[in-house]
């Protein structure tokens, strides 16, 4: 038996290291399929033509988990197989929405959300009607006030014609001042 130390070199020799064989090269490309979220949760192999894969990508496992919890995988697949392919994405989104609503409100689900929204619409319609009534009330008050001022002016001019001529003189003076202001340096700003 030989010693691991080489007497001529005074160094220790190591046994040869076994290397792993190179990976086989094949002309056929190897396809690594990442299972869709549904197959991952169901712990099964995701087939190439998995009906759930386009709608439950591996990046969104919660989407399938919620729908599966409420509807079950078999019912989801059965439902998707029964409808045209163009409707499937919308159907999956609807199922996920309904499942979320059902988990939040187990008794009423989406119907509860719709009822709450309808109540809000009714409340807002009442508020709108009240606001419109207030607007009409303010407009009628303004009209009454304006008409009473006009009637009051007409009566005061008939009772006091001297007052009316003084008002016209004052208005003329204001018009003159306004015209001079516009022609001055200050009016050019």
pLDDT digits (tens, 9 = 90+) for 118-127: 999 999 999 9
Whether 31 maps to a domain, the answer reads no
Residues 128 and 167 in one domain: yes
* pLDDT over 90 (residue 175): no
The reply to whether 71 and 100 lie within a common domain is yes
- Answer whether residue 189 is part of any domain: no
Supply the pLDDT for residue 189: 45
Question: What pLDDT is stored for residue 73 in this prediction?
Answer: 92
Same domain, 96 and 58: yes
Q: Decide if 73 is inside a domain.
A: yes
Asked whether residue 47 falls in the same domain as residue 91, the answer is yes
What residues make up the domain containing 139? 123-174
Residues 33 and 47: their CA atoms lie apart, in Å, by 9
Task: Kindly state whether residues 93 and 134 are assigned to the same domain.
Answer: no
**pLDDT at residue 3 above 70?**
no
Give pLDDT tens digits for 133-164.
999 999 999 988 888 888 766 665 555 555 55
Span 36-61, pLDDT tens digits: 999 999 999 988 889 999 999 999 99
How many residues in the chain? 189
3-state helix vs strand vs coil in the chain, percent to 5: 65, 0, 35
Kindly report the pTM of this predicted structure: 0.51
Residue 186 lies in a domain: no
CB environment 120-158: b (16+ within 10 A), e (fewer): eeeeeeeeeeeeeeeeeeeeeeeeeeeeeeeeeeeeeee
Q: Would residue 9 count as lying in a domain?
A: no
Number of domains in the chain: 2
Across all residues in the chain, what is the average pLDDT? 77
| pLDDT score, position 127 | 97
């Amino acid at each position: 038996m030989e010693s691991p130390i080489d007497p001529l070199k005074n160094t220790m020799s190591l046994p040869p290291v076994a290397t792993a064989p190179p990976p086989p090269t094949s002309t056929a490309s190897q396809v690594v399929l990442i299972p869709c979220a549904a197959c991952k949760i169901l712990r099964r192999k995701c087939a190439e033509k998995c009906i759930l894969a386009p709608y439950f990508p591996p990046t969104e496992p919660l989407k399938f988990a919620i729908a599966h919890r409420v509807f079950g995988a078999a019912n989801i697949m059965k439902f998707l197989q029964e409808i045209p392919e163009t409707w499937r994405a919308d159907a999956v989104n609807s199922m996920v929405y309904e499942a979320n609503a059902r988990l939040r409100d187990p008794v009423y689900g989406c119907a509860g959300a719709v009822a709450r929204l309808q109540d809000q619409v009714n409340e807002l319609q009442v508020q709108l009607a009240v606001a419109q009534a207030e607007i009409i009330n303010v407009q009628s008050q303004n009209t009454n006030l304006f008409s009473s001022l006009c009637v009051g002016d007409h009566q005061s001019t008939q009772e006091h014609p001297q007052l009316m001529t003084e008002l016209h003189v004052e208005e003329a003076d204001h018009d003159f001042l306004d015209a001079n202001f516009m022609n001055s340096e200050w009016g050019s700003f």
